[in-house]
Structure 1
Amino acid sequence: MKEIKMNKSAERVVDVLFLLAKSEAPLTLNEICQKLSFPKSSGFELIQTLVVKGFVEVDDARLKTYRLGLGAFEVGSAYLTNNDVTMQARQPIQELNRLVGSTVFLGIEDRGKIVYLDKAESHSVMRPTAKLGSRRYMHTTGLGKALLAAFPDEKIKYILENGDIAKKTEFSKVTIPEILNDVRGTRERGYSIDDREDNVEMFCMGSAIFDQWNEPVASISVASSYNGMTVEKKKLITELLQKTALDISKKLGYKGDRLYI
């Protein structure tokens, strides 16, 4: 495979945007340059250019801190608008949220991680902390586990062997045999279970979404408080989750009557 030559300036722009996107607080120029290991002089010019173009904003002029700007939001929104899965899933996940009273997430796999694309927010006091655009482990989240189970075993092993199988909580499964066994359970049930494996306060269930070629293209999950999970609520979520995932799949051209065939 021919080696791709990276443009240094373009690479730095992307790195800055991702850094600001992942940061929980605005960053100073010094912090940005230190974290990304490039000179302050060129960093200043790069940041100022991004400010002029609207991709970065000055958060506090006195402290000279920066955050993502409206331009970054516009580009991200354009992706969501042009993404067929997001468009077809938006109304169904909002309805699912209304029926179960818990936050519903939509995500896709990218480079071995699950990326949160959309959500229908619950108004309960206990809310999941995943932000749109954030990347999480596939082996610990209900969203990621649902997609893993829809992939062939060879792809699952490739993702796990080339990624970081981190232990998020004491309940996380972190060996390939454990994860593959969990995958088989998801396939048999028809939905994934994240039982405090990514967050000790949360219990999540997820299902993959398939397209017209029977390929898994996304997943949805319902995230609830672990302490608030009852047998009755689990049964309700299970039924509605599977129905919603199948309905979205059919909107994308899926011809089957059940998922995880």
Structure 2
Amino acid sequence: MQKIAENRCFGGRQLRYSHSSSALGCDMNFSIYLPPQAERGRVPVLYWLSGLTCTDENFVTKAGAQRYAAEHGLAIVAPDTSPRGEGVPDDPEGAWDFGLGAGFYVNATQEPWAAHYNMRDYVVSELFTLVGANFPVDSARAAISGHSMGGHGAITIALTASGRFRSVSAFAPISSPMRCPWGRKALAAYLGDEIREWENYDSSVLLGRDTEQLPLLVDQGDADDFLDEQLKPHLLQQAADSSGYPLQLRMQTGYDHSYFFIASFIGEHIAFHAANL
């Protein structure tokens, strides 16, 4: 790893690193906040997955999460949202909702994406192992959260990476990629036309399959421009109701899809995870 940034923040350290990823076949950046408690021993860790067009820096600079992480003694790891660099394919039309910045946290099986777009393996295996081996975090006490595309990633990863995480939360997640334009475009390109493969990355489908029933908190703004066409939280609620999953879905009046929304409730999400870790 190569350290590329360090800033003192609420008594802890906000760090940024670059490393060579074997899962993605390119160099990747990630950010990690270490609270002041990490100077005395290992601390629990929250993985944050960002949304479309984001990098590892959006959450770090906009959410204001470090204050709450310092209060609860929680480290936060924020990876990039997709592979990047020379030779990594992008949307041929340059669209913002696919390709670079839109890895969708899947393991691609189709060309030309399969060689690089393996974000699920990167988060669950490579980055998780790298962080646990190089920083004072207790990987046995890990949680995961995210926003929009990253909310989809957080829920699907938590429900399929058995034993890896103790709790999961999301802000405005894409609740059913199979049933929205963003998701159908990405899943078809990355995974092909076999619908059964898509189901492995659909939160509303997986919620009915899961047996571990991790604590799950979801916040959704009712003034979100993407609410009805892309996010569809009612499908997540329906799946939870049908399966008896203990989902806590909170509709927040007047909030949109922005980081102003995330900053307003990130303290409650960090407290939620700290209580479960």
TM-score normalised to structure 1 length:
0.24
Q: Flag the structure with higher helix content.
A: 1
Q: Could you say which structure has the larger radius of gyration?
A: 1
Higher relative contact order (CA 8 A, sep 6+): 2
